[in-house]
Amino acid sequence: MYSQRSLESRDLETICMFPQCEEELFYVSPRFVYPLTTDQILNIVKDRFEPTVILNNVTKEVVAYANIYKDDSEESSFWLGNVIVSPKYRGKGAAQYLLNVMLDKAKNNLRIERIKLACHSTNSRGLAFYSKYGFKPFDMKVTSIDAKKFITIHMSKELF
């Protein structure tokens, strides 16, 4: 039902339509400002590895997006980032397919032994999803944005 390929500039407008509100975009990246724009994606993707889109095999439309980034403060620390699925494809296996593709790329293309991700405590659907696929919490961080405090759960998964 799905296939994958590298991000192309023609995909950007479609991806910008995925976040339906400020909160959803915050889950994708606290650095993004709603509404998401192509410039915001281009600005962040220049420092990312394996920017990947998932396609519906029948319609060829872009249905999901993610990338991988390196945390320069830690030796060999890589993170799954900017994970987003089209509202139309949520609950239809696109997120699972995207996650499997990204884990495969991390392991086989980048030779990453352990991948991490950040999931906000208010994103219970995301936390349950990542836990189901073997990610385990290892830390949490409190972030303040506009006088609001957010708890971010750091999770990781061994790939080898």
pLDDT of residue 73: 83
CB-neighbour burial class of residue 77 (10 A; exposed 0-12, middle 13-18, buried 19+):
middle
Q: Judge whether 124 lies within some domain.
A: no
Q: Judge whether 145 lies within some domain.
A: no
- How many structural domains is the chain composed of? 1
Q: Judge whether 50 lies within some domain.
A: yes
Q: Judge whether 148 lies within some domain.
A: no
Tell me: pLDDT of 155 over 80. yes
Q: Judge whether 123 lies within some domain.
A: no
* Structural domain boundaries, residue 34: 2-117
First to last CA, the chain: 27
pLDDT of residue 146: 79
Q: Judge whether 129 lies within some domain.
A: no
**pLDDT 10s digits, 75-108:** 789 999 999 999 999 999 999 999 999 999 999 9
Mean of the pLDDT values across residues 127-155? 94
| pTM for this entry | 0.96
53: domain CATH number is 3.40.630.30
Q: Judge whether 59 lies within some domain.
A: yes
Q: Judge whether 72 lies within some domain.
A: yes
Tell me: pLDDT of 124 over 80. yes
Tell me: pLDDT of 111 over 90. yes
Please give, one letter per residue, the 3-state secondary structure of 62-126: EEEEEEEEECCCCCCCEEEEEEEECHHHCCCCHHHHHHHHHHHHHHHHCCCCEEEEEEECCCHHH
Give the whole-angstrom CA distance, residue 15 versus residue 101.
18
The percent of residues in the chain predicted with pLDDT above 90, rounded, is 91
